[in-house]
Amino acid sequence: MIPIEHVFRAVETPLFWLGAVTAAWLSVCSVYRLLAGIKVWVLGNGKLVSPATLGKWAVVTGATDGIGKAYAEELARRGFSIVLISRSQEKLDEVSKAIESKCGVETKTIAADFSSVNIYSKIEDALAGLEIGVLVNNVGISYTYPEFFLSVPSLDTFIDTLVNVNITSVCQMTRLVLPQMAERKKGAILNISSASGMHPVPLLTVYSASKAFVDFFSRGLQAEYKSKGIIIQSVLPFFVATKLSKIRRATLDKPSPERYVAAELNTVGLQTQTNGYLPHAIMGWVTTALLPASILSRHMMGVTLSQRARYLKKQKQG
C-alpha cells in the first residue's frame, strides 16, 4: 500500500501549478475587464458618433417623447440633421422647431403610426436621397399594467399592435436604411431593447419577449455586417424616467432620458450589447451573472403582481 504522504507529494506540484495558472488567468481576466470598463465608461468612443464619421442625417422613431426625443436632441447637438418619425404631427412640429432653434440643424418630420404595417412605402419615399448615418429604432409600447397573458384586455388586438410597434418597426426600418449604409460602408443602427429582454418578466410577457427579439436581431445583424463597416447595437436600459415607464422623478439608477442618452452614445462602437449607463451596467451584471434565474423570476413575479394589485385597486377606487 502506498503511504498517504507519497500520494500528497506526487500531486503537490501539479496542484500548485494548476492553482498558479488559474490565479494568473483570473488576474488577467480581471485586469482586462477593468481596462475595458475604463475604456467604455470613462474614456468613451471619442467623436465616433458624428456626421463627419457616419453621415449627415440621423433618423429617430418615437422621437417626440422620452428616450427618442432625447436621442434626437443629443444627435442634433452633435451636428446631425434629424428625421423625426412619430404618430402626432403636432408633436413632431413642436420638437422639430425646438431642435432647429436650439441646435441650428435641418430637420424633417414623418407622421407615421407604427401599429400599422402599410406605412413603410411612405417612409421610404420620405427618406430617399438622404445620407443616413444613424438610425435609432426607439419606438415602442408596453402594457398599460402588468397582467396575466389570457387576461390582457383586447388580447388579440394588443398582440398585433405590440408586435407591429416593437418588432416589425425594427425590421422594416432597418430594411429601409441598411442598404445605403452598406453601400457607403459606414453607419450605425441603435436598436432600443430593454433590460426586460435580458430575462423573462412575468405579467409583461409579450413586451419582454418582444424586447428579447430586438436584442437577438441586433446581435445577429452585427455579426453579419460588422465586416462591412456597419455598427448595429442592442441597447438594454433599465428604468429611465419617462412617460412609458411612468417614473416622474429621475434618480441615480433611474436617470433622465437626456442623461441616459448622453452616456449611451459614448458606448457606440465599443459594445455590441449595452445597458448604456454605468449604474444600469452594474445592475445588468448582478441580474445575469450573480442571481440564479429561478430566484430572479420569482422576484420579478412578486414585483409585477404587486404593481398589478395596486393598479386594479386604484381602478376600483376611481
Per-residue exposure over 114-143, b if at least 16 CB sit within 10 Å of its own CB, e if not: bbeeebbeebeebbeebebbbbbbbbbbbb
pLDDT number for residue 32: 66
Print pLDDT tens along the chain (318 aa): 556 665 556 656 776 677 777 777 777 766 767 777 787 788 788 889 999 999 999 999 999 999 999 999 999 999 999 999 999 999 999 999 999 999 999 999 999 999 999 999 999 999 999 999 999 999 999 999 999 999 999 999 999 999 999 999 999 999 999 999 999 999 999 999 999 999 999 999 999 999 999 999 999 999 999 999 999 999 999 999 988 778 889 999 999 999 999 999 999 999 999 999 999 999 999 998 888 999 999 999 999 999 999 999 999 886
CA atoms of 263 and 149, how far apart (whole Å)? 35
Residue 264 burial by CB count (10 A; 0-12/13-18/19+): exposed, middle or buried?
A: buried
pLDDT number for residue 246: 80
Report the CATH architecture of 40-317.
Answer: 3-Layer(aba) Sandwich (3.40)
pLDDT number for residue 268: 97
> What residues are labeled active site?
207
Sketch the domain layout of the chain as residue ranges: 40-317
CA atoms of 62 and 261, how far apart (whole Å)? 14
CA atoms of 318 and 314, how far apart (whole Å)? 6
Extract long-range pairs of 216-224: CB within 8 Å, 24+ residues apart: 217/170, 217/171, 217/191, 218/189, 218/191, 218/193, 218/272, 218/273, 219/272, 219/273, 221/174, 221/189, 222/272
How is residue 265 written as a grid cell?
452614445
pLDDT number for residue 39: 79
pLDDT number for residue 50: 96
